[in-house]
Amino acid sequence: MYSLVRDFEPSVVAVDPISNLTSHNDDPGLKITLMRLIDFLKTQGTTALFTSLTSDGRAEESTEIGVSSLMDTWLWLKNVAFNGERTRTLQVLKSRGMAHSNQVREFVFSDRGVDLIEVYMYGDQVLTGTARVAHEAQVVASTDLRERDHARRMADLANRRKALDAQIVALNVEAQERAGQVAFDIEREKIEAEGHLKRARNISAARSGSSGNKPRNKG
């Protein structure tokens, strides 16, 4: 391997998986060998990509071989069994010298390769797989119902405004008719009052004229 690296000068060397290089988890010889290989690749400026299979029940902060502390970046891939399905997740346990997310991300295999799914939070939980798809569909349906309800309420408000506008127009017409009737009644009452006053004056004048022409008694 050392000779191949010197001859071909690859930019990346992948060893997949290092956990299959021995049948003993506590093999000190393998650990020393890998430590030397990692140090050699670093001196050559070559990126080392090691994979390791982790048994169920083993702490995620450790590996079978125990060389994770020598690596600059540690990615943890896991199959999560939940709600009758297995979901593939990815998280960065460490990455020296660079900023990285501490969230667990779901990933899927597609025609384009590996796609990372955006973190989907629901309350204080991260939903993945079918649970995420079902909740997204529920949110879309709820949003559609809410938008329909908003449209219905806005249409009802518009109809109420139209009804109120019609009532206002009718009240204005009624008020104008009432104002015209009141003005007519007032004018009629004025004319009648003036007629009564005129007749009263005429009668008074007639009586005054009659009393002035009455013959005097001779003594």
What residues contact 115, with CB distance under 8 A and at least 6 apart? 107, 108, 109
- 13 and 47 assigned to the same domain: yes
Mean pLDDT over each residue of the chain, to the nearest integer: 82
**What is the identity of the amino acid at 36?**
R
pLDDT value at residue 10: 93
- 65 and 78 assigned to the same domain: no
Task: Tell me the per-residue pLDDT of 189-211, one tens digit each, with 9 for 90 and over.
Answer: 999 888 888 888 888 877 776 65
Decide if 3 is inside a domain.
Answer: yes
pLDDT value at residue 136: 82
Domain count, the chain: 2
Using pLDDT thresholds of 50, 70 and 90, give the confidence band for residue 166. very high
Q: Is the pLDDT of residue 58 over 60?
A: no
Q: Is the pLDDT of residue 12 over 90?
A: yes
pLDDT value at residue 102: 82
- 2 and 61 assigned to the same domain: yes
155 compared with 85, residue with greater pLDDT? 155
- 67 and 85 assigned to the same domain: no
- 20 and 82 assigned to the same domain: no
Q: Is the pLDDT of residue 124 over 70?
A: no
Bridge partners of 74, per DSSP, are 94
| Residue range of the domain that includes 102 | 73-119
Decide if 134 is inside a domain.
Answer: no
Distances (CA, A) of 31 to 3, 71, 75, 87: 20, 13, 20, 32
Decide if 59 is inside a domain.
Answer: yes
Decide if 212 is inside a domain.
Answer: no
pLDDT value at residue 214: 55
Examine the fold and report which residue of 62, 95, 119 is the final residue of a domain before the chain moves on: 119
Q: Which of 70-74, 116-120, 123-127, 209-213 has the lowest mean pLDDT?
A: 209-213
Decide if 192 is inside a domain.
Answer: no
Examine the fold and report which residue of 13, 47, 71 is the final residue of a domain before the chain moves on: 71
DSSP readout, 66-84? --GGG-SEEEEEEEEEETT
pLDDT value at residue 206: 79
Task: Tell me the per-residue pLDDT of 136-149, one tens digit each, with 9 for 90 and over.
Answer: 888 889 999 999 99
Decide if 131 is inside a domain.
Answer: no
Distances (CA, A) of 11 to 17, 40, 41: 19, 13, 10
